[in-house]
Chains A and B, each alone.
Chain A
Amino acid sequence: MSLSRRDFLKVGSATAAGVAVTGRGVDLAPVEAAATSLKIKEAKAFAGVCPYCAVGCGQLIYAKDGKIIDIEGNPDTPHTQGRLCPKGAATIELSNNPLRPTKALYRAAGSDKWEEKPLEWMYDEIAKRYYETREKHFIEREKDKDGKEITVNRLEAIASLGSACIDNEECYLLTKLNRTLGIVYHEHQARV
């Protein structure tokens, strides 16, 4: 399902549009096109969507040997015409970034440091916290305003926040998980 390589002249002209917008005086399109062509020569292009604002600029993500080597605007995108803003143009640094933590970390109560932990340990411990808190604080039945006892199956002791930064499928899974566990503090950035 990955995209075919873009015609580099087309990519070049899209880049030129970007140049015009940023106000640089010299049209570097042919030079940039040649450079882009070399950089992505052996790479495979994947369909991307910019993860920053909600304009949702189409991107082309070029990867080679398991590493992203370039991300640029997809010129076919009807609502963006291949353009990206400064944030969209920096998307590659979300992946290729030495500051990015790649290990699971745990901070014990009262501690002043993180400890690296295996993922399996983390998952077990988090599941335990969910389980214990749910068991201790679950509200199964409650009186309504008329004093009649009804089933409410509600869990108020665990709250969930986020996210407008994750995919639709992830949002759905989170909603399904929280709601089937009884969680009612269930919010994301749209509220603020």
Chain B
Amino acid sequence: MTTNLIDIQNSDVIMATSNMAENHPVGFQWVMKAKERGAKLIHVDPRFTRTSAAADIHVPLRSGTNIVFFGGLMNYAMDKDLYFKEYVVHYTNASFLIDPAFKTPTDLGGLFTGFDEAKQTYDRSSWKYQLDGEGNPKRDLTLKDPNSVFQLLKRHYSRYTLDMVEKVCGIPKAKFEEVAKLYCGTSGPDKTGAITYALNLTQHTNGVENIRSLCMLQLLLGNVGRPGGGVVALRGHANVQGATDLEVLYHELPGYLAMPLRDVHPDLKTYLDKETPKGGFWTNKPKFMVSLLKAFYGDAATKDNEFGYQWLPKRAKADAYSHQHMFVDMYNGVIKGFLADGQNPAVGGPNAKLARSAMQRLDWLVVVDIFLTETAEVWKAPGTNPKDVKTEVFFLPAAPAAEKDGSLTNTMRVIQWHERAVKPPGDVRSDADFFCILAHRLKKMYAGSKKDRDKGFLAANFKYGEKPDEPEMVEVLKEINGFATEEIKDKDGKVTYKKGQALNTFAHLTDDGATASGCWIYTGVTVEGADGKLVNKAASRKPADAKDYLGHGWGFAWPANRRIIYNRASADLQGKPWSEKKKLLWWDPEAPGNAPDKKGKWVGLDVPDFNAFLAPDAKGGDMPFIMRTDLVGAFFGPLVDGPFPEHYEPIESPTRNLLSKQQNNPVAKIWKVPDQKNDLAPLGSSEYPYVITTYRLTEHHLSGVMSRYLPMLAELFDSHFAEISHELAKELSIANGEMITVASPRGKIHVKAMVTHRLKPFVVNGKTVHQIGVPWHWGYNGIEGLPGSKGDITNDLSATVGDPTVYIQETKAFLCNVKKGVV
């Protein structure tokens, strides 16, 4: 997230698009605090939830139509001149001119320029800026040029009218207009608005474009980098942010560096040439990459061997190895052995039936978890004869956070250390112990190898502290932070770092091998104190106070302890706060500068997200988005499925696309799986007429591993259920509490019907469309004697289809049927 939960209290309008009150209840207190100050809360959700109960306006929208909603708001803001003009002109690429060959779906029947029907991909060569003689993008600060991003944007969203929003999303025109007036009112120097999102936006075949449309609305209203503004990404797991930063993900290396591709990155030089942009902070990428290689391979990584670059695996192609690829490939026999560590794909992933069938074909499976999950007991899955499952399964009991030292990065990017309060019982070990023990045993087995391919692994260190099999976590954090691999001197010959000393900032990383860092964005989390001892800033516990409402002394936020990123945008071009009410950082021309004879510094309530001594009138001093090559926020941002978000219907939808003849995202990923394991319902299917969305509950946690085995939580729901409207219940003669069958082309589940007024049918293009909601916390394991702790697996209904940029599945909008009774 760009901002901080605490700062939501400064918002004038909060638009929650997720169910924050139930899924992030403790964070929701800041929304309530803002409301006490007079702020308004809009809740956009197909269901009426506890978030809606606290809202001033609840806006039900049909699942899968978010881009029409955000596009409609952008259209309203541009049409009524409600956008923040100065911010848009100077801090975004609205004024940049685009290649005249580029055309949008307005002209091309739902497609952008360059679509290749046969390959199902875009040729993106026209999706670019016009450049001047020096190679800089051409701009028109009046925003009037028809090829300017602003005019293209305006034309693109001119189709997203109030009528269109009503027809596609099912939101009555008057209600949408009320929302548009209220939220677009957060534009300008005195006002800000924040938008929250979670998996409601991500789990779609246009998930990334959904989030882009939210971000673009925020840029248009000048709501990024300012107090009370921002993009509030609400993550679901305690360390989903950290696991992403440390890149437990197929496509990247720690710190958001690309995972090498065979056909693009044959050697380190080519990798750095291709991956390092010409402008912005990423020009430092070679320092981050070389330091990472030094952290992985230690002294064996030298200039002469490309710092060990060739030891890294190279991906065969970009369209491979993601979660969904994994289970399709496992089913097809490519994968033989599998480690499931703290994740339960038998329940928690899309098309869970396929995932279980795939795991039952493995040679071996290792599960590391706190409880015996459905994944560990996949050989006991309903309908399975254990004799037929030839998979060997190893289960290692794992320790929860309270039984180990370590850090977790929360949704605000704050790294917080936790301490081991007790030793884990019996044979329970931490995951870290297991990884190091496995590494040490494998190293013994490879000890005699002279093969090049084993040298990298043999060079990698897995000893942290005195006891090899019980690694010291603070030593691991120090490697992530970074340290000097040799003595480092400044230009005057003065020693700045001793060998082995922790680095203070990523600004000190180098590309010559003198520094190692496992994840450059975390640098600064451990530093050496005046006494020479390591200071772990993740463990700092200074409360917030009136002088520091953002709580900079509590934990350490990456990067560089900034609590609101892009915060240069909180001041105007001259470096003054846009208004007294919304001040965060400002340029103080009289403050001591970075040299004895210089004056001027950015000061205020946060750590500047840019060079603190760069004057507003210096080159780049008025450009807040430092991680982008052109230093401005992007309305025009070429993803694989288009530079502007365009609405397409979910892969399974009850209606044709009213915006264009292009029904679905033309480059969405749809896997073909043998044995009818991924059949899809056709458009307007009479067999599967209802929209289904999946969701979570306050009392349960994700796939249920950390809630269904805890009596305190498992007792709170009497059974698995589906929420259906009174209108649908009446049509199907279903009574509240009765058992029903929910079916999709992939599978079916039996659950109790919760007949409720919280869901209402939508009117979509003049026709009634029913939508149901089903939580997904249940599985076939749980507490014996407590039937409500077990239930059918909701994800047996969902499909193996994905967003083309990140391959996330579409579990928030697909089709189902509902039948009375167990059929």
Contacts and interface: CB of A to CB of B under 8 A. Distances in A.
Contacts of B379: 107, 111-112
B312 interface: yes
A78 interface: yes
B711 to A, nearest CB: 7
A87 interface: yes
A184 B419 CA distance: 32
A46 B418 CA distance: 8
- Name, among A47, A49, A181, A185, the residue most crowded by chain B CB atoms within 10 Å (CB to CB): A49
Interface in B749-774: none
A100 B397 contact: yes
B253 interface: yes
Nearest to B308: A180
B418 A78 contact: no
Contacts of B395: 101, 104-107, 114
Nearest to B550: A78
B236 A168 contact: no
A114 B565 CA distance: 50
Q: Give the contact-size bracket for chain A.
A: 35 or more
Contact of A133 (B254, B337, B342, B453): B337
Interface string B3-42: 0111000000000000000011111011000000000000
A106 to B, nearest CB: 6
B514 interface: no
B541 A3 contact: yes
A75 to B, nearest CB: 8
A105 to B, nearest CB: 4
B539 interface: yes
Contacts of B253: 175, 179
A172 B366 contact: no
Interface in B380-430: 380, 386-397, 400-404, 406-412, 414-423, 425-430
- Name, among A114, A145, A177, the residue most crowded by chain B CB atoms within 10 Å (CB to CB): A177
A9 interface: no
A28 interface: no
A152 interface: yes
Contacts of B312: 153, 179
A189 B479 CA distance: 24
Contacts of B341: 160-163, 166, 174
Interface string B509-541: 000000000110010000000000000000101
- Name, among B243, B446, B806, the residue most crowded by chain A CB atoms within 10 Å (CB to CB): B243
A184 B339 contact: no
A27 interface: no
Contacts of B387: 110, 112
- Name, among B314, B387, B452, the residue most crowded by chain A CB atoms within 10 Å (CB to CB): B314
A191 B543 contact: no
A176 B423 contact: no
A130 B239 CA distance: 27
B460 interface: yes
Contacts of B419: 1-2, 46-48, 61
A24 interface: no
A131 B410 CA distance: 36
Nearest to B238: A51
Contacts of A123: 437-438, 441
Contacts of A53: 23-24, 234-238, 411, 701
Given A48-B402, A104-B395, A177 B237 contact: no
A184 B244 CA distance: 15
Interface string A59-74: 1011100111001001
B458 to A, nearest CB: 9
B315 A189 contact: no
13 contacts: A63-B421, A76-B554, A90-B713, A94-B706, A107-B393, A119-B427, A129-B363, A154-B315, A170-B432, A175-B254, A180-B457, A185-B335, A188-B248
